[in-house]
Amino acid sequence: MSIVSSIQKNVTAGLSALYNQSITEKDFQINQTKPEFEGDYTIVMFALVKSLKQSPDSIGNQLGGYLIKTYPELFSNFNIIKGFLNLSVTNTFWTNLLQKNYANAGYGRKEKNGKKVMVEYASPNTNKPLHLGHLRNIFLGWSVAEIYKANGYEVIKTCIVNDRGIHICKSMIAWQKYANGATPQSTGIKGDHLVGDYYVRFENDLKAESQVLINKINLGDLCDFSGVALEKLDKLLIALTKLDEIKDEEKIAKLHDEIKEIARNNTSVMAEAKQMLLDWEEGKPAVIDLWKKMNGWVYEGFDITYKRIGTDFDKIYYESKTYLLGKYIVQQGLDKTVFFKKEDGSIWIDLTADGLDEKLVQRKDGTSVYITQDIGLALQKYEEYKIDSSIYVIGNEQNYHMKVLQLICKKLGMANADNIFHLSYGMVELTTGKMKSREGTVVDADDIVDEMIATSQMHTEELGKVKDFTVEELKDLYDTIGLGAMKFYLLRVDPKKTMVFNAEESIDFHGFTGPFVQYTHARIKSILRKEPLANNQQALTSSNLLKLEKELIVILEQYPEAIEQAAIEHNPSIIAMYVFNLAKTFNSFYTEHSIANAETGNKKQLRLQLAVMTANTLNSGMELLGTRVPERM
RNA sequence: GACUUGGUAGCUCAGCUGGAUAGAGCAUCAGCCUUCUAAGCUGAGGGUCAUUGGUUCGAAUCCAAUCCAGGUCACCA
């Protein structure tokens, strides 16, 4: 049990003994005492004044007196300042805590709780390489998985590959046109990048062709259009002439976007892509073969990246397989009247009673939409692994989609539908604005990883501390530091929030960064190589603890709580902040006090234990962030 | 327009289930390496917590309104 909960318990017991009133733990708060006051933990008396009908100081005095009398092994002293009861914890408590846990590598981690959770992350499309946004997603998913493991869950890491759809057809069309049979082998280009290049090629063609159409439309020439598209265009153009007078720029831009969309859909290249999608669904061998070939290149490319950044999956799902299950479930749901069919044959669910709209789950031509396969997959996950809960690491632009998905699962009677959790994370923006693939401002994952590793190499060489390392050891160290910096940078921010990626800041290895934490660890290991801690040490007599010694133990005591909180909030940044705080405190301690030349043998022993426990905890915490810590750097 | 998320130091972020004088890192300035790794440490300056009102012993935190910014509202995925 954490010290705060012990105090909570003791205070509740004390209050009921003193006042014969049942005060619960929610009726008062325990905070850490501010450094300018004496004491370790503070209880605010004001909250109790009303129910106990006494002055804050009087309650404080009685409660403080009771606590040190009743729990002398825990509390040594108290004082009251302006209604705040400050409690001092005995040195014995702190040294005992240190003695008990310093050598425990699993400190802070919980026993298995028998529950299974699935974490879905990464989930890329197979038409272009991974970018910075994917990295945030992947690091988050991995870290949350580790954090859940540390909390006693059995975790299954999974990934749904969006390998089917118009996007991959676009790459295929452009490849057929321009590639002359080029392959990753023949060009030396990583598979995912090669396929991505042809996707860009397609988009360029599409842009050029649609621009011609837009120009004609702007001149009032609609001869390229017919049917529904023509009708829509007519309406848009009329709306535009009206708005020109009002000068609502936002609305005008919106209308122009709609025109652009119609133009894009009316191009010959788009028609080719759509035809290819139909051919794919019909299973035309030539299309399927090409699809398999190009997807294969992408997977090879992804695998290289995954391996490099140290991520993997226990199970990979493919959309090309799950969509059929989705359609099957939609049929079943139709029989159960969860869904209903419209006259044109399309299938919908009515969510208006839940404050949402009607949502299409299957097109009139019988093909599945995005949510169809998600329904199938959600069910399949539960049936295949008998999981208790399911975490989806997906960007916040899909909040609505996930809300709908969860609701549908519930209506279909899925047992654990309430335990679907959407870990909704914010976009990664650049200092120059948003990343937009169409404008080529996307930061490529492989590039940025290269850059981070190169930077770590540069710094390491400049400092020249590991000149005796072998080539392999050096390479491993550069990877450890470069990736450590990268992961820490992306994980140190609350996942929910949009974050700004500052290229200059990201390669800074000082301050609130991964390398700072890694450095602290290496520093401790260096001491321990010279001053190994003997195993069979007698119990320490709890002499006076210095301020920084105690501060370190106090922070170490909070680690289990941090692990727990990180899981509750699905938030690795709690661990990042914790580990930084611990490293910072150790560094202050390190410069103030010598370990090797401590004043007494007893002190040396205590400080070595502190060093060992700090190193263990830094290692453990960084592991939860998917990051290694080096022995030397 | 509806729904939703955010606005805290020059920049990037903590703090938000109400508590004492609002914190880090970067950047700026001033110091510290013949003793355990200076990727470190110490100190200084830097704030109308978007604005206004309310709730109360006490508000960055809760409530309301307003302003600003992002996201969603597809028979795309």
Max CA separation in chain A (angstroms):
94
The reply to whether A112 has its C-beta less than 7 Å from any atom of strand B is no
pTM: 0.95
Q: Which of A430, A458, A486 is the last residue of a domain?
A: A430
Is the predicted pLDDT of residue A245 greater than 80, yes or no?
no
My answer on whether A202 and A318 are in the same domain is yes
Q: One-letter amino acid identity for A542?
A: S
Q: Given this model, what pLDDT does residue A537 score?
A: 59
| Nucleotides of strand B within 7 Å of the protein's CB atoms | 4-6, 11-15, 18-21, 24-27, 35-42, 57-58, 70-77
User: Exposed e or buried b for every residue in A107-140, given b needs 16+ CB within 10 A?
Assistant: bbbeeeeeebbbbbbbbbbbbbbbbbbbbbbbbb
- Exposed (0-12), middle (13-18) or buried (19+): which is A568, by Cβ within 10 Å? exposed
CA-nearest of A28, A82, A36 to A55 is A82
Task: Work out the pLDDT band at A532, boundaries 50, 70, 90.
Answer: confident
Q: Given this model, what pLDDT does residue A290 score?
A: 96
The reply to whether A434 has its C-beta less than 7 Å from any atom of strand B is yes
Task: Work out the pLDDT band at A516, boundaries 50, 70, 90.
Answer: very high
In-domain check, residue A147: yes
The nucleotide lying nearest A429 (C-alpha to C1') is B70
My answer on whether A366 and A393 are in the same domain is yes
Tell me the Cα Rg of chain A: 31
Measure Cα distances from A410 to A375, A377, A406, A445 in Å. 11, 14, 6, 37
pLDDT digits (tens, 9 = 90+) for A430-463: 988 888 876 778 999 999 999 999 999 999 999 9
My answer on whether A425 and A449 are in the same domain is no
In-domain check, residue A145: yes
Per-residue CB contacts under 7 A with strand B, chain A residues 244-303:
261
In-domain check, residue A304: yes
My answer on whether A282 and A425 are in the same domain is yes
My answer on whether A289 and A174 are in the same domain is yes
My answer on whether A422 and A501 are in the same domain is no
Q: Given this model, what pLDDT does residue A248 score?
A: 64
The nucleotide lying nearest A489 (C-alpha to C1') is B12
Q: Given this model, what pLDDT does residue A363 score?
A: 85
Please compute the mean of the pLDDT values over residues A605-611 and round it to a whole number. 94
Residues facing residue A350 across a β-bridge = A358
Q: Given this model, what pLDDT does residue A304 score?
A: 97
Whole-complex ipTM: 0.96
Q: Which of A54, A89, A124 is the last residue of a domain?
A: A89
My answer on whether A426 and A340 are in the same domain is yes
What total of structural domains would you count in chain A?
Answer: 3
Task: Work out the pLDDT band at A296, boundaries 50, 70, 90.
Answer: very high
Domain at A454, CATH number = 1.10.730.10
Please compute the mean of the pLDDT values over residues A206-221 and round it to a whole number. 89
My answer on whether A492 and A420 are in the same domain is no
Task: Work out the pLDDT band at A542, boundaries 50, 70, 90.
Answer: low
CA dihedral angle for residue A181, residue A187, residue A192, residue A198, rounded to 10 degrees? -50
In-domain check, residue A519: yes
The reply to whether A570 has its C-beta less than 7 Å from any atom of strand B is no
The reply to whether A399 has its C-beta less than 7 Å from any atom of strand B is yes
My answer on whether A166 and A295 are in the same domain is yes
Domain at A156, CATH number = 3.40.50.620
Q: Given this model, what pLDDT does residue A610 score?
A: 95
Please compute the mean of the pLDDT values over residues A222-230 and round it to a whole number. 83
Is the predicted pLDDT of residue A427 greater than 70, yes or no?
yes
The reply to whether A382 has its C-beta less than 7 Å from any atom of strand B is no
Is the predicted pLDDT of residue A402 greater than 80, yes or no?
yes
Residue with tokens 């995954």: A306
In-domain check, residue A633: no
Q: Which residue is nearest to nucleotide B27 (CA to C1')?
A: A505
Q: Strands A116-120 and A154-161, how do they pair?
A: parallel
My answer on whether A354 and A482 are in the same domain is no
Is the predicted pLDDT of residue A398 greater than 90, yes or no?
yes
Domain at A66, CATH number = 3.30.1360.70
In-domain check, residue A208: yes
Please compute the mean of the pLDDT values over residues A119-127 and round it to a whole number. 94
Is the predicted pLDDT of residue A251 greater than 80, yes or no?
no
The reply to whether A588 has its C-beta less than 7 Å from any atom of strand B is yes
- Domain span at A13: 3-89
Q: What percent of chain A is modeled with pLDDT above 90? A: 71
